[in-house]
Amino acid sequence: MSTALRKKMHQDLQLAGLSEGTQHVYLRAVRQLAVHFDTPPDVLNEAPVRDYLLHLKNDRKFASSSLGIAYCAIKFFYSHTAPRDWPTLQRIRVQKEKRLPDVLSIDEVRELIGAVRKLRYRTYFSTVYSLGLRRNEGLHLQVRDIDSARMLVHVHRGKGAKDRFVPLPARTLALLREYWVTHRNPVWLFPDIGSDQRQAVSSDRPMSKDAVQHAMERVMQQLGWRKAVSIHTLRHSYAIHLLEAGVNLRLIQQDLGHSSLQTTMVYLHLTTVSQEQAIAVINKLMEP
């Protein structure tokens, strides 16, 4: 894909309001289409594009999530950047796999965080868990986001550009203060420390997502756990622990920043507490 065409698609993605992460994967998916045929994507006609989509599904056996990204990216390109009126674009569908995420118990979360050696990563993981944040939400936290008077955190950079306030536990505030004293960056709570670990105070950007992901991989290797644990697992675990503690599902939805309650309701399938409570109530009602 030529530089000019890539730039145009990038601009179209920005105008559509898609996140930086989505922009990146869409551009990559269309580039892979061009590489497959060694032809600029705006030159291709419907037949080879149709064959390519079937190739991803039947030959390369893409998982539903990967297939969905490829479909959406290609559909976006031929709907916005190089508009085509193709029936194939209207028909493509991906059946979503209903996978339940792995979660950790409270004791497992404590063990994981306690095993992290470096203070910056230990504080970051604690913050992500105790506030129910997405990876990038945690990385982009700023000093001004912390309202210690009301014990709230203002999450500005949530998914879909939606702001929200989440409760700030006293222990998390203490950890953030302890870590901030080590770098004193006036903007970022988790600044990029640089290769010599001395530029943290003047850094104009947060830690990289690769850095925290590698930190998670190291601690998982150290612990020897077989669960598929990622940084997002801490967010899932936060939701489950709130639900098991009796917190209203609507409040959990607000804290997580979910647009739909249906998204939050997946956590009902990961806990038996609600079912056990219902059985207890029914048994109580049936007492003579």
Q: Above 90 in pLDDT, residue 218?
A: yes
Active site residues: 134, 159, 232, 235, 258, 267
The reply to whether 113 and 87 lie within a common domain is no
Residue 288 counted as domain residue: no
Q: Kindly report the pTM of this predicted structure.
A: 0.68
Instruction: Kindly state whether residues 114 and 74 are assigned to the same domain.
Output: no
Contact 209, 136 (CB under 8 A): yes
72 and 113 within one domain: no
Is residue 73 a part of any domain in this protein?
yes
Residue 13 pLDDT > 90: yes
169 and 54 co-located in one domain: no
**pLDDT(270) > 80:** no
Residue 62's domain is classified under what CATH number? 1.10.150.130
Q: In terms of domains, do 205 and 152 share one?
A: yes
pLDDT at 147 over 90: yes
Question: Which has the higher per-residue pLDDT, 34 or 272?
Answer: 34
Residues 53 and 194 grouped into a single domain: no
Beta bridge partners, 154, equal: 165
Can you spell out the DSSP letters for 122-133?
HHHHHHHHHHT-
- Cβ count near 190 (within 10 Å): 26
> pLDDT value at position 201?
87
- Number of domains present in the structure of the chain: 2
Same domain as 170, residue 75:
no
Between 16-20, 258-262, 273-277, the lowest mean confidence (pLDDT) is in: 273-277
Range of the domain at 18: 3-91
